[in-house]
Structure 1
Amino acid sequence: MKNVTISLDDDLYRRARILAAEEDTTVTAMVRAYLEEKTRQKDEFERLLKLQEDLLATETGLDPAENLSRDEIYSEKGDARFR
């Protein structure tokens, strides 16, 4: 485990210590939990973004460029894809 030194202004440190005491924890544990949550969120966002990219790369009909215009949707001839 690595040790990290951070600088906080006196008021923030005092308020963080009070909050930590109220939650029966330490400032270190609060900072660790915050960083774990932020990195978990980023990892999850990147995983979902990759999943979306993979889906769009493999599925047809999801490309906005392939969307029909309003006129094409309501034309009498229609589109052969929907017959």
Structure 2
Amino acid sequence: METQNVTLSLPKELLRQAKHLAIEQGTSLSGLLAQLLKEATKSKDEYVEAREHHLAVLNNLDLGTEGKAGWTRGDLHVRQPGQTVC
């Protein structure tokens, strides 16, 4: 895989902590950042794919109503005699 150098400006304390984390994981700071960015972009790609799949399922969902409700708002809110609103 071809790589490219980048310049980052990070708070000193964050950089110190990130270096320690990289050492604990047995990798370099570049390796740690590359892995984190890879996971973040993979997660985003998976979300987009799942969203598109579920929207396609919803678009093909047939409730047998032909897109029209068989009731009115009033039908849904009819109260029985003596019934009180909580």
Task: Specify if TM > 0.5.
Answer: yes
**Which residue number in structure 2 is paired with residue 14 of structure 1?**
16
Gaps in structure 1 of 5+ consecutive residues: 73-83
Task: Compute the RMSD of aligned alpha carbons.
Answer: 2.7
Gaps in structure 2 of 5+ consecutive residues: 77-86
**Which residue number in structure 1 is paired with residue 44 of structure 2?**
42
Distance in 2 of aligned mates of 1:11 and 1:38:
22
TM-score (norm 2): 0.66
Bigger RCO of structures 1 and 2 (CA < 8 A, at least 6 apart) = 2
Cα distance, 1:15–1:58 mapped onto 2, change above 3 Å: same
Q: How does 1:2-81 map to 2 (within 5 A)?
A: 2-61=4-63
TM-score (norm 1): 0.68
Query: Between the two proteins, what is the percent identity of the paired residues?
Result: 29
Which one has the bigger helix percentage?
1
Residues paired across the two proteins, number: 70
